[in-house]
Structure formats: structure tokens, C-alpha cells
Amino acid sequence: MAVARKSGLGRGLDALLAVDKADLTAGTIPVDNIDPNPRQARTRFDEESLEGLAASIREVGILQPIVVGPADQNGRHVLVAGERRLRASKLVGLDQIPAVVRESDEAARLAESLIENVQREDLGPLEEAEAYRALMEDFDMRHEDVAQRVGKSRSAVTNSVRLLNLPGQIQGLIADGGISAGAGRALLGLEDAARAVMIAQRAASEEWSVRQVEEAVRDRRAGTTKKARSKRERPAQIIALEERMEESLGTTVRIDYGARGGGKMVIKFGSLDDLERIYLGLLGG
């Protein structure tokens, strides 16, 4: 099974990875010809997160290639970087996967090439987000590390990567230019994925601004809250606090404020790695 890349995505593997023809080749290789990296430290992969990536691949294709070593005498490659993308591609049922073949295992050099090109290439918002995630997952960087290396704020990197948590249909609209990345980030405030897709599709067809999308999201959240709380309005301070925490932590935050002054707070995370990131963010680490 092949998943065609949407129009307007990417300038080729060499544009992202500074292909040096002397020691790097780019193209696609059979998924079944790739063996796991024996030095892969991570052994557990969040299934829900993998399903989300698989849905994205079905909609917009693979935005960052995996990296493999040269083929052995049997035509098999050893994976160097991209375990999560490879696993998700298998869930989708891909026969071939975009890959670069590194003649020597120089992960640090490859990371530097990716960083340099993220800084200077005019990437689409999803390509930029996937590049950041590749740096974190393939080269064991934190959000703070990536932000420092690419010259952006931690919140900018976090909010970029959050786009990859959107449903595949919304990612497709962003990739095709139907809605902006800002509109996509606004839609992250909805827990109802089906409703978020409906708003995104309407925003694309009617050419809404980001502010219009934000208003639709606020109206939806306010309506849900009103219904769930027997039409009792939530304090504006609580809503404002939610928005500030969402911006700081890069995820959905829900504060349920009781009439007697108590309540509870729910912080959403997409995977165990995401939970660790949020935990460190709360600690200020």
C-alpha cells in the first residue's frame, strides 16, 4: 500500500537533510527490508500515539524520512533513526517508506544537518513540527534542547509539535493550505475530535480567519460547559487560567470549579513521553 504525499508538501529529502552524495542516498525502500536498531534504547511505544501518527500518515504521508544503514548482502538495512515512523507505517500497511541511507552511523552529524536546514528552509507547518519531533525522538532531545538549537522559544516548538496531535483530516487541511497552523492550534482546545473536524472543514470552505476559528471553539466549549453544568456560567478567571496553562504546557487543560470554591484540574497528554514533558514543565525543569 502506498500513501501519496499531498500537494505542496516538501522540497525533497535532500532539502531537509543536506544530502551529501558522497555518503548519503535518498529514496524509498521496502518496509520489510528494514531491521530494528539493536542499540535502540526505547522498547515501549504508546499505542494510542502510534495510531495517531498512522492516521496522519494516511492523510498527509510521511513528512520526515527514516534513516537506515547501507544494505547488507541480503539487501537488508538496519534502522538508524525513525523507529516510531517505521512502526506507524507498518500499521498503515505501507510497502515502501521514504528513507536516507547513511554510509556511516554519524547520528550527531545527521542531527546537525537537520537543525541547520530547519533553520533556513521554508518548511510547511507540519514539516517543521515533524522535524522537531524527529529531533526529540531520534536524537533524544527535549523541547528546550530543540528550541535552543533552532533559535526559537520553547513554547514555539511545543505549539508546533502539538499540531501533530490533530486528527488526520485537520492535518490534511493544514497541509493543503485550507486552514492555517494558527487555526489548527485553536482547534486543539476541543476534546471532541469530530466537532473539531467539522469546524475545520467549515473554516476551510468559508475561508475563516484564525479569530473566527477561535470564536467557534470558545462557543463550542462554552456551550458544552453550559449544558454539563445545568447552564451555570463558568468564571472568566477560570477560563483565562485554562488558556494560560494550555499555552505554557502545550496541551489541553480543563479546570472544573465548584460552587463552594473547590474543584479539580484535568491535564491531557498524548503519550508517556508527553506526560514526562508536561511533568517537567510543571516543575519548571
Residue 43, C-beta contacts closer than 8 angstroms, at least 6 positions apart: none
Q: What pLDDT sits at residue 1?
A: 59
Query: How far is Cα 227 from Cα 87, in angstroms, rounded to an integer?
Result: 41
Cell 505542496, located at residue: 8
Residue 100, C-beta contacts closer than 8 angstroms, at least 6 positions apart: 13, 17, 19, 24, 25, 26, 65, 66, 67, 68
Q: Of 33, 39, 28, whose CA–CA distance to 62 is shortest?
A: 28
Higher pLDDT, 269 or 160: 160
Q: What pLDDT sits at residue 135?
A: 85
Q: Of 178, 63, 179, 34, whose CA–CA distance to 132 is shortest?
A: 63
Q: What pLDDT sits at residue 234?
A: 65
How is 234-254 classified by DSSP, letter by letter? PPHHHHHHHHHHHHHHTS-EE
Q: What stretch of H or E contains 26? A: strand 24-30
* Active-site choice (47, 48, 83, 206): 83
**pLDDT averaged over every residue in the chain:** 78
SS3 260: coil
Q: Give the model confidence (pLDDT) of 92-133 as tens digits.
A: 899 999 988 876 556 666 677 677 767 766 778 998 898 888
Average pLDDT of the segment spanning 201-223: 88
Q: Give the model confidence (pLDDT) of 30-68 as tens digits.
A: 999 998 876 554 556 677 778 888 888 888 888 888 888
Average pLDDT of the segment spanning 243-272: 79
Query: How far is Cα 17 from Cα 15, in angstroms, rounded to an integer?
Result: 6
Report the sign of the C-alpha dihedral through residues 263, 267, 268, 270, in that order.
negative
User: 154 is written with which cell numbers?
Assistant: 520553547
Average pLDDT of the segment spanning 138-163: 87
For the chain, list the domains and their CATH numbers: 13-164 (3.90.1530.10), 234-285 (no CATH)
Q: Which is it for strands 263-267 and 253-257: parallel, antiparallel or unpaired?
A: antiparallel
Is residue 116 part of the annotated active site? The answer reads: no
Cell 530494528, located at residue: 36
User: What confidence tier does 269 reach under pLDDT thresholds 50, 70, 90?
Assistant: confident
Say which DSSP state 232 is in. Answer: P
Percent of the residues in the chain that have a pLDDT greater than 90, as a whole number: 18
Say which DSSP state 263 is in. Answer: E
User: 129 is written with which cell numbers?
Assistant: 513540527
Q: Of 272, 279, 243, 251, whose CA–CA distance to 191 is shortest?
A: 251
Q: Of 106, 149, 155, whose CA–CA distance to 131 is shortest?
A: 149
SS3 61: coil
Higher pLDDT, 4 or 244: 244
What's the Rg (C-alpha) of the chain?
20
Contact by Cβ (8 Å): 108, 149: no
Q: How many CB atoms lie within 10 A of CB 179?
A: 23
User: 236 is written with which cell numbers?
Assistant: 472568566
